[in-house]
Chains A and B, each alone.
Chain A
Amino acid sequence: MPDHDPFPLPRVDETNRPYWQALAEGRLVYQCCKACGHAWLPARSECPRCLAAETGWQQASGRARLVSWVTYRKAFHPAFADRLPYNVSVVELEEGPRLISNLVGLADPEDLAIDEPLALVLREEHGVAIPAFRKAG
């Protein structure tokens, strides 16, 4: 066992490389099917609706809504112990795909409402660009 666990950075592979590459360039993208138009995240090798393997990427507008959220009061990983309490949310992009993300800039971590509008902000985590969201407006 190492003395301390390394920060759990995303595992980049052939399928999800375009997603992380776009974030590094300042854009949030989602995957879409060239056969049926279905849109989704996270990255997959086939369309989960029509099973076609011809997929592409589109840039998200950054407008989204809050599906639900939690606030960690205990750390499940040592790398997050000094961030408590911290938010993790399920966010739905206006284009449809959903993702796990963090809400930032919250004065009160529980002063939130389901379905409230959110706006994308990118942040850096240990040198990796990742998506986060703030309350819109």
Chain B
Amino acid sequence: MAAKTSASPAGRPFDRQAMLKEAGATGLVIFALAFGLLGFRTLDVPGGIDIQYRFGDVAAAVAIGIVGRIALILLRERRPLPVLLTAPPLAVVLLVVLLSKFLFGPETGAELMRFLPFESLVVMWAILIVIVVLGLRAARVHTHMTSVMTAEERDARMDRIGAKVQRAARLLGPLLLGIAVVFPFLPFADRRLLDIGILVVTYIMLGWGLNIVVGLAGLLDLGYVAFYAVGAYSFALLATGLDVSFWVALPFAGLMAATAGVLLGFPVLRLRGDYLAIVTLGFGEMIRIILLNWYEFTNGPDGISGIPRPSFFGLALFKRNVADGHAFHELFGLEFTPIHRIIFLFYLILALALVVNIFTMRIRKLPVGRAWEALREDETACRSLGINPRNTKLTAFGIGAMFGGFAGSFFATRQGFISPESFTFIESAVILAIVVLGGFGSQIGVVIAAILLIGLPEFFRELQQYRMLAFGMAMVLIMIWRPAGLLAHREPTIRLFGKGRAKEAEP
């Protein structure tokens, strides 16, 4: 055998044994994970449940993990040649197999597909993407002899991208809004797509609401869903118990949620960071458990059903036959179709979300908004400037919660039925993930993240089972590469030298 250690082109010694050790460790970790996750699958068979063993998949996962790890190590050690030589042919073969259905007809396609290590095409496409990325990076290493950008380079680049997107947001924002406004009337906008649209916009609204608390005021809130729940239940109880209409109950539900926000705010005033996150998480669970157990009031796990649908601003109802009053389709002389109500709901949530957005944009430029940001930066300095930290924090909690409450009301009226199950911690996590992924404080970032995290998995049903996995992975990557979020770029709220006056500042 040749010497174990040979010098790499960059002059660094290269330890083959260490590489194999590292790859072996990766294999072990993947084995430990995959054995439980992939190795068994329960099948519904007549008369009970059966277990399907998929050890082939486990082996494939381990092999892919080891090979991928070796490729990464080679790149890190600046020896890109093996990767450069294997990645392109592998990618081409995989691509041909994946497209074989279209290239050679369905039969040959099916035949070829059987050679793929995983059944799921999504996973195979993902692997293809990884191979292509590795190949590109190998090429980059080969030509530049630098393995990766330094952290600063990457940061600077991401910042520039963030700044560009923010600037583009001035155009992109209205553009997206325009698309959203005409969306229900597009020819392909069927009921399913509209439902997805409503869901995405709901999460955008929640993301924007939470962004006030987390992005602006810097208060890490892991229990945001509590306010969503308070809003939904306030609305549902008012609407079913007291027969209050949507338009009256909505502000009241918001008020209740805001109160809950302030109540949560008081005990956590002195807490920061991790501690705050833990207490808010607990608060979220507390609310859910109260809803679950206060049977007389909330109907416990059975939830509340028969929540009235919103009327057309109190003028007309979305029903085929209305005994007293008007029906929407009669009012406008249209054919009755249930899609009218869906379209109305879409516009309703769009309007609510826009209110949150405009509110946030405006309040950022007001003293409270600036005080929130200042508080995020340095609370001690704020106190030395005479800013009342208590009131400032409580307004952030209260206003963020209020918007959560509005969204909750909407949720209740759209579903017609709510139960504590809809308000689990995972919802808080998803909303927070949207904010974090989009970039703390970035309005357009929330939109993009919501579309990515909510819209895509809803649309591609097959992706849905990988949603949580993708979530987790995205979060880990973001935390490593860009802790402030993808599009975190802060625009100043006020400038001394406006666009036109900028030259004056040049020396």
The answer to whether A and B assemble together is: no
